Amino acid sequence: MVAATAVLLALAAGGLSAYAADAATTSSGTLYHPSTASGSTEDASYPRMIRLQHNGSANGTLLSTFSHSGTGVPKANFPVYRSTDNGITWTSTPISTVTDTVHGWDLDGPTLYELPQAEGTLPAGTLLASGTAWNHGDYTQQAIEVFVSTNQGATWSYRSSCASETGQPNTIKHGIWEPEFDVAANGHLVCYFSDERPSSNNYNQVLAHVSSTDGGATWGTEVYDVAVQDNVQRPGMATIVNLPNGSYAMSYEDCKDGFDPDQACDVYIKTSSNAESWNAASLGTKIQTSDNRFLLHTPYLSWSPAGGTNGTLIVSGQRVVAGTDGALAVQPESGHVLFVNKNLGVGAWQEITTAVTTDPTGGYDAGETACAGYSSPLLAAVSGSSFLMMAGVHVATGKCETDFASANLPIATGQITGPGTIAKCIDVKTNTSAAGNAVQLYTCGAASGQQWSLETDGTIRAFDKCLDIVGNATGNSAKVELYGCNGVGGQQWQVRADHSLYNPQSGRCLDDPQAITADGTQLQIYDCNGLSTQQWQTPTA
Residue 163 lies in a domain: yes
pLDDT tens over the chain, length 541 residues: 333 333 222 222 232 233 232 347 789 999 999 999 999 999 999 999 999 999 999 999 999 999 999 999 999 999 999 999 999 999 999 999 999 999 999 999 999 999 999 999 999 999 999 999 999 999 999 999 999 999 999 999 999 999 999 999 999 989 999 999 999 999 999 999 999 999 889 999 999 999 999 999 999 999 999 999 999 999 999 999 999 999 999 999 999 999 998 999 999 999 999 999 999 999 999 999 999 999 999 999 999 999 999 999 999 999 999 999 999 999 999 999 999 999 999 999 999 999 999 999 999 998 898 999 999 999 999 999 999 999 999 999 999 999 999 999 999 999 999 999 999 999 999 999 999 999 999 999 999 999 999 999 999 999 999 999 999 999 999 999 999 999 999 999 999 999 999 999 999 999 999 999 999 999 999 999 999 999 999 998 7
Coil vs helix vs strand at 491? helix
* Residue 109 to residue 236: CA distance in whole angstroms: 12
Domain end point (choices 386, 408, 430) = 408
**SS3 state of residue 264:** coil
Pair (158, 194) in one structural domain: yes
pLDDT of amino acid 62: 98
**Domain co-membership, 371 together with 276:** yes
Residue 394, domain member (yes or no): yes
Residue type, 55: N
Do 418 and 296 reside in the same domain of the chain?
no
Same domain, 373 and 489: no
C-beta atoms surrounding 254 within 10 Å? 23
Q: What is the CATH number of the domain that holds 494?
A: 2.80.10.50
Pairing mode of beta strands 501-503, 300-304: unpaired
Q: How far is the C-alpha of 225 from the C-alpha of 182, rounded, in Å?
A: 14
Residues 69 and 205 in one domain: yes
Residue at 102 is within a domain: yes
Question: Are residues 507 and 461 part of one domain?
Answer: yes
Same domain, 376 and 334: yes
Regarding whether 318 and 210 lie in a shared domain, the answer is yes
287 within 8 A of 250, measured Cβ to Cβ: no
* Number of C-beta neighbours around residue 427 at 10 A: 27
Give the domain extent around 444.
412-534
User: Same domain, yes or no, for 436 and 399?
Assistant: no
Shared domain check, 431 and 362: no
d(CA 4, CA 485): 26
Give the pLDDT score at 541: 77
Distance CA 526, CA 242 (A): 48
> Could you tell me which residues come within 8 angstroms of residue 191 by beta carbon, excluding any fewer than 6 positions away?
130, 144, 146, 162, 163, 179, 180, 181, 209, 210, 211, 212, 216, 219
Q: Is residue 18 part of a domain?
A: no
CB neighbour list of residue 297: distance below 8 Å, 6 or more residues apart = 253, 261, 265, 267, 317, 318, 319, 362, 374
Shared-domain flag, residues 368 and 384: yes
pLDDT at 22: 32
For residue 404, being part of any structural domain is answered with yes
- pTM equals 0.94
Sign of the alpha-carbon torsion through 29, 32, 35, 39: negative
pLDDT of the residue at 25: 75
Burial class (CB in 10 A: 0-12, 13-18, 19+), 205: buried
Q: Is there a contact between 100 and 133 (Cβ–Cβ < 8 Å)?
A: yes
Residues 255, 376, single domain; the answer is yes
Q: Is 2 within a domain?
A: no
Domain boundary among 408, 438, 471: 408
Confidence (pLDDT) at 366: 87
CATH number of residue 30's parent domain: 2.120.10.10
Q: Among 408, 441, 458, where does a domain finish?
A: 408
Q: Look at the chain and report how many structural domains it folds into.
A: 2
